[in-house]
Structure 1
Amino acid sequence: MSTTMTGGCQCGRIRYSAQVEPDKAYLCHCKMCRHATGGVSIAFVNAPKSAVRWQREPDWYASSKIARRPFCSHCGTPLGFAFLDGDNIDLTVGSFDDPAPFRPSQNYATESMLTAWTDVRHLPGMTSAENAGVMDRWKAAGIRPPE
């Protein structure tokens, strides 16, 4: 079921709203997406370009001869991926204000998947609040830590 959701970059310079289907998100494991985002994979949701409204046009990087990627040149947030000749755009799930409703429905470019990173539930965990050094830095800066 399609719903309108909002998102944007880390600094707030680029904002958007998009009509998306949260249960049809996916993880891309291709090497180009890994390099573009700095992650081991990237979570995307696909939407028609006509269903995305940019409050301010993002910056665009021509990542290949066939595609480009929207991003914020001020804070560096990757916002998506789009084929030059396509009618759709992939938006980064992490750039949505509330990414909690998204559910992955598939993996893409599995030939490049870093399998050691596919299931990390068995690893020990720590909350941000348990990291005194980080919390002290936020407190000294006079701001609340991000959630």
Structure 2
Amino acid sequence: MAQEMTGGCQCGRIRYRVSIDSDDAYLCHCRMCQRATGGVSIAFKNVPVAAVAWEREPDHYASSPIAARGFCRECGTPLTFAYPDSGKIDLTVGSFDDPSRFRPIHHFGAESLHEAWIDTSAVPRHRCDSYDKLNERWIEAVGKIPD
């Protein structure tokens, strides 16, 4: 059953609503995505273009001769990847207001995959809300710790 979900960029300038019919998502490791995001991979949710309603359209740039990426020119948040002749679009999982629903079902661009970043279950974990110096900065700057 389809569920409407919302998302947008970090600064809130770009917002969207989208009808989602599954939890399926994927990780792209291709060098284009690595360079576009500065990360070792990016998580995408592929949806029909018609399923997305933008409150404000994202800015776009042609990231290659065959594809374009949507982003916010104010805060730099990567939002989309699409082939101009496709009826589908990839939304960045991290741009959803609640990305916890999604589960990766495959890796794409596996030729550029960095194995050391795939299984990090043994790496120690630290919480932002337990890092006093970070919390002090937020309180001093805006009076509260952000969500």
- The alignment's TM-score, normalised by the length of structure 1, stands at 0.95
- Give 1:103's aligned residue: 103
Q: Is the 8 A contact 1:69 1:79 kept in 2?
A: yes
Q: Is the 8 A contact 1:22 1:45 kept in 2?
A: no
| SS of aligned partner of 2:19 | strand
Q: Is the 8 A contact 2:138 2:146 kept in 1?
A: no
Map of 1:1-147 to 2, 5 A cutoff?
1-147=1-147
Query: Unpaired segments of 5 or more residues in structure 1?
Result: none
CA distance in 2, matches of 1:128, 1:7: 22
Q: Is the 8 A contact 1:5 1:96 kept in 2?
A: yes
CA distance in 2, matches of 1:116, 1:6: 32
Shift of 1:105: 0.9
- The alignment's TM-score, normalised by the length of structure 2, stands at 0.95
Give aligned-pair identity as a percent: 55
1:91 corresponds to which letter in structure 2? L
CA distance in 2, matches of 1:113, 1:37: 15
The farther-off stretch of 126-135 and 96-105 is 126-135
Higher strand share: 2
Q: Show structure 1 runs of 4+ deviating over 3 A.
A: none
How many residues matched? 147
CA distance in 1, matches of 2:143, 2:72: 23
Shift of 1:2: 3.1
CA distance in 1, matches of 2:71, 2:97: 16
Q: Is the 8 A contact 2:138 2:144 kept in 1?
A: yes
1:126 corresponds to which letter in structure 2? H
Q: Is the 8 A contact 1:22 1:103 kept in 2?
A: no
CA distance in 2, matches of 1:100, 1:69: 23
Query: Unpaired segments of 5 or more residues in structure 2?
Result: none
| SS of aligned partner of 2:136 | helix
Cα separation, partners in 2 of 1:89 and 1:40, compared to 1, 3 Å: same
Shift of 1:22: 4.0
Q: Is the 8 A contact 1:21 1:45 kept in 2?
A: no
Deviations 1:61-84 (A, max 9, x none): 110111000100000000010001
